[in-house]
Amino acid sequence: MKKISLLILSLVPLMASASNDVTQLEGSFKVGPAIILIFILSLFILVGILFRAKDTTDYYAAGRGISRVGSGMAIASNWMSAASFLGMAALMYGTGYHGLSYVVGWTGGYVLLLILMAGQIRRYGKYTAADFIGDRYYSKTLRTIGAVIAILISIAYAVGQFGGIGLMFKWVMGIEYNLAVIIGGSVVLAYTLISGMLGVTKNMQIQYVIIISSFLIPLFLLTYKFDYFWLLPQIGYGSAVQDIVEGIQISDKSGLMNTLGHHFAIVPSPEYAMPWAPSSGQTFFQWMAIAFSLMIGTAGLPHVIQRFYVVPKARDARWSVVWGLFFICLLYWSAPVYSALGTILSAHPEVGKLSPDAIVVYTAQLGGINPLIVGLLAAGGVSAAFSTTSGLLVAGSSAFAHDLYVKVINPLARPKTQMKVARLGTLLMAVIITVIAMVDLALIAQLVAIAFSMAGCTIFPLFLLGIWWSGSNRAGAKAGLIVGGIVTLISLTYLVGARAGWVLPYSEFITYYLGAWYFAWIGAPLAIAANIIVSKLTPETPLEIRKFLIEKVHS
Amino acid sequence: METEDHKISFFKPTTQQALKNRNLIIKLFIAWAVAIFGFQVLLKILEKPVPEEALITFSSAWENIESGEAGHSDFRAAARSMIQVMGKLTIQPDHYAALKDGTGWALSKVYPEDELSELQQDVVYLSELREQITSLRDAEYLQTKELIISKAAPALNIGEGTLLAQLLAIGLDENLQVLAEENRAKIPQVMSLYLTHNRSFLTDTIFLGFPFHYFYTAVFLLVFFIGLCWIYCYRTDKLHAKLNFLEQVD
């Protein structure tokens, strides 16, 4: 500890001298932020090593030694990804109200998750989503498909995270984006392989504190500096929103400027706050579809569901959701502050088009916040991406090793072999994610939203009906998966097609109604309907499964 | 929820505990759905497209311009409105270019003809400087901007120390006297797109500094979600205690 303190003290002058260099928005190596980033990542790895997984039970479920508040923090940390930390403000940057559909979707889903699933999932007592699907629907094939879906969802979700890590590494190191993705991806891979889930869970509690602190400290400074109610910026920024709507004249806030020398002023911009503004290109339908898809996706994400197995009993699983949601909301109340202040600070056309995904950091930079604190903010963004990515890689590798390898390929595999396969799965996933992240498909939060819609169309119906209706059987589950899968496939084909310049039929209609960020609005209800209809027409669920549901899950 | 033949259905509970749990879930679900989607539907029902003041001014001025009856005040009003839209963060590059073209052209109609070429040279020089400078605080760049403001802003009745003047300095096309036909047709549509907004009393009421609907969605709903979760956990605990329902620990 003493050595660490000495190390920090010796770095302070170096960081202070570096602070003057960080005046440009992009392009140069930023020593202070780099040191802060390295320090925080080293801390994570240290904690990961100290609490590393000893066996497969530890690896998958962290020994179930986590308290409700601790588990809530882990849920929040696991959840607060680059999409929350960086992407949320990006979506609201310029057109605030449309972005709120993501805020509502990503928080409202927890209510569904709690009242419909959390306790029951814990009581069912399965390690992974595929485990549940295979067991509940008494099918090895469905278990395999469930595992593959879990891996695909984890990959889709992690692509956005790697994008966020790449953006922050690019900003700190002043290097090219693709190289930044490779470096950042390698670090997160090493960390996950070293620590496993026990390390991850312990780390998540530390990460939560770092993430939320790094996000809030600049907010207090920014609102204080620009003369808004800084004691509670999450409320104080209301005046900033109204200022954007009505416009700020130079004389209103005379003397306040951004770091590029522009006045803290903006022309009247009601499109920022007014619902589905015509100039935003976003509609009422899209707002509703995004919110709905994200909510049901939340209740179907494998790495979120898996967290409920970590707590000792169902009651803890329920209360951990309350705590988790509270910790998550601390960030979600705050993200719109960055977008509002960022909108004003970058309003002058001379600032040019900023990458929305980095607007959190740019806002702090343009606001003239001390570069070391901006560095802390960037490190927080990386931490957010790290905490989620490691959880995703664990969930994905669990599906690979536990659900595919042990349950399907080699049931006699020894724990050591199983562990090796889990790590191989992690490595494979990381490589795939890195490659996809290099293709700039969409904003971080939109990439993550794809994973939510995939989960909403496939896993959510299986869990919902599997828990609450014993009549849902194997044939129904397969039918639901086929329908949900087809909707997913159509939407993603049109997304990739649009980027690749393919000419596809009914392109305008399908990209609007089956948009990649919200296709679950129709995919999930169709999958549920298919499951119910086919279940009704085919032999009922075996007695032992029905008994298990009654005795173990609902009694 | 279970029956004698071991069937479970959420909608057909058969035990006291299952019945109460189902009722609680339904109540919370309805509250959740109404709070989220009900409010947005209400917002949609009540909304009306409302133009900004700048659009009303612009439309009147542009009508006169198109009919050939425009006076200097019409060109000035149209230019000021266009500059305001050019200052919007969300403006698309092609829309910005069209308005830039229109603003320069409107200015040329009210600017002394013999001094126009000099102003045009300043605009071209500023554009060249912009390509060369490494900092927006470059002294020569700032001086040139101030020079353009001092010449052009008074012609459009814009105060020199205002935001519009700042936007004007960088918002003039290099060819001031010509307005492309394509842009001439596009400008009214662009103005209408950026200056019309969906509003109602829910968006115009201010609450804790916010437009009310914004506060409701960005702040209140999140508090409400936590409240719903808390109520569910609390009521479930009470119900389990009342029915002596013990949960197994694996």
Single-letter amino acid code for the residue at A19: S
Residue A205's pLDDT is what?
77
Dist. CA A499–CA A496, nearest whole Å:
5
Dist. CA B30–CA B146, nearest whole Å:
60
Range of the domain at A284: 33-553
Nearest-CB residue to B209 (from A242, A263, A470): A242
Q: Is the ipTM of this complex over 0.85?
A: yes
Number of H helices, E strands in chain A: 24, 0
Q: Which of B2, B19, B163 to mutate to test the interface with A (most CBs of A within 10 A)?
A: B163
Q: For residue B56, what are the contacts with CB-CB under 8 A and spacing of at least 6?
A: none
Decide if A19 is inside a domain: no
Contact between chains at A322 and B229 (C-beta distance less than 8 A): yes
Dist. CA B241–CA B235, nearest whole Å:
10
Q: With beta carbons under 8 A apart, name residues in chain B contacting A235.
A: 208-209, 219
A217 is written with which tokens? 């400290």
Dist. CA B128–CA B132, nearest whole Å:
7
Please provide the DSSP assignment of A412-434 as one string. T--HHHHHHHHHHHHHHHHHHHH
Contact between chains at B37 and A288 (C-beta distance less than 8 A): yes
Q: Are strands B196-199 and B206-207 parallel, antiparallel or unpaired?
A: unpaired
Is the pLDDT confidence value at B75 over 70? yes
CA angle A360, B193, B214 (to 5 degrees): 45
Contact between chains at B6 and A276 (C-beta distance less than 8 A): no
The 3-state secondary structure of B47-62, one letter per residue: CEEEECHHHHHHHHHH
Residue B219's pLDDT is what?
96
Contact between chains at B247 and A279 (C-beta distance less than 8 A): no
Contact between chains at B84 and A229 (C-beta distance less than 8 A): no
Residue A457's pLDDT is what?
95
Dist. CA A431–CA A188, nearest whole Å:
12
Contact between chains at A469 and B163 (C-beta distance less than 8 A): no
DSSP A65: -
Query: CA-nearest residue of chain B to A281?
Result: B193
Q: What is the pLDDT of residues A82-129, one digit of tens each?
A: 888 888 899 888 677 999 999 999 999 999 988 988 878 878 877 678
% pLDDT > 90, chain A: 37
Q: Which of B8, B89, B212 to mutate to test the interface with A (most CBs of A within 10 A)?
A: B89
% pLDDT > 70, chain A: 88
Band of residue A203 on the pLDDT scale cut at 50, 70, 90:
low
What CATH number does residue A64 fall under? 1.20.1730.10
Report CA Rg, chain A.
23
The residue-averaged pLDDT of B145-168 equals 92
Nearest-CB residue to B87 (from A229, A291, A349): A349
Decide if A119 is inside a domain: yes
Contact between chains at A274 and B171 (C-beta distance less than 8 A): no
Least trusted range by pLDDT, from A483-497, B102-116, B126-140 = B126-140
Decide if A536 is inside a domain: yes
- Distance from A42 to chain B by nearest Cα, in Å? 34
Answer whether A270's CB lies under 8 Å from B200's CB: no
Q: Where are the alpha helices (DSSP H) in A125-139?
A: 129-136
Nearest-CB residue to A125 (from B5, B54, B250): B250
- Distance from B59 to chain A by nearest Cα, in Å? 18
Query: CA-nearest residue of chain B to A101?
Result: B217
A127 closest CA partner among A411, A318, A388, A400: A400
**Phi, psi of A263, deg, nearest 5:** -65, 155
Dist. CA A80–CA A389, nearest whole Å:
10
Q: For residue A167, what are the contacts with CB-CB under 8 A and spacing of at least 6?
A: A86, A177, A180, A355, A357, A358, A381, A444
Q: What is the pLDDT of residues A219-267, one digit of tens each?
A: 999 999 999 999 999 999 999 999 999 999 988 887 898 988 899 999 9
Decide if A514 is inside a domain: yes
The residue-averaged pLDDT of B64-82 equals 92
The residue-averaged pLDDT of A462-489 equals 95
Q: Which strand (E) or helix (H) includes residue B197?
A: strand B196-199
Of residues B243 and A544, the one with the higher pLDDT is A544
Query: CA-nearest residue of chain B to A468?
Result: B10
Decide if A201 is inside a domain: yes
Q: What is the dihedral of CA A266, A268, A274, A280, to 10 degrees?
A: -70
Nearest-CB residue to A275 (from B162, B213, B218): B213
**Phi, psi of A184, deg, nearest 5:** -60, -40
Dist. CA A416–CA A274, nearest whole Å:
57
Band of residue A64 on the pLDDT scale cut at 50, 70, 90:
low
Is the pLDDT confidence value at A23 over 50? no
Band of residue A6 on the pLDDT scale cut at 50, 70, 90:
very low
The residue-averaged pLDDT of B4-27 equals 84
Dist. CA A63–CA A57, nearest whole Å:
7
Contact between chains at A235 and B209 (C-beta distance less than 8 A): yes
Q: With beta carbons under 8 A apart, name residues in chain B contacting A292.
A: 37
Contact between chains at B9 and A470 (C-beta distance less than 8 A): yes
Total domains in chain A come to: 1
Dist. CA A195–CA A58, nearest whole Å:
11
Decide if A250 is inside a domain: yes
Decide if A3 is inside a domain: no
Q: A291: buried, middle or exposed (CB in 10 Å: 19+, 13-18, 0-12)? A: buried
Contact between chains at B225 and A107 (C-beta distance less than 8 A): yes
Q: B53: buried, middle or exposed (CB in 10 Å: 19+, 13-18, 0-12)? A: exposed
Decide if A11 is inside a domain: no
Q: With beta carbons under 8 A apart, name residues in chain A contacting B209.
A: 229, 235-236, 238-239, 241-242
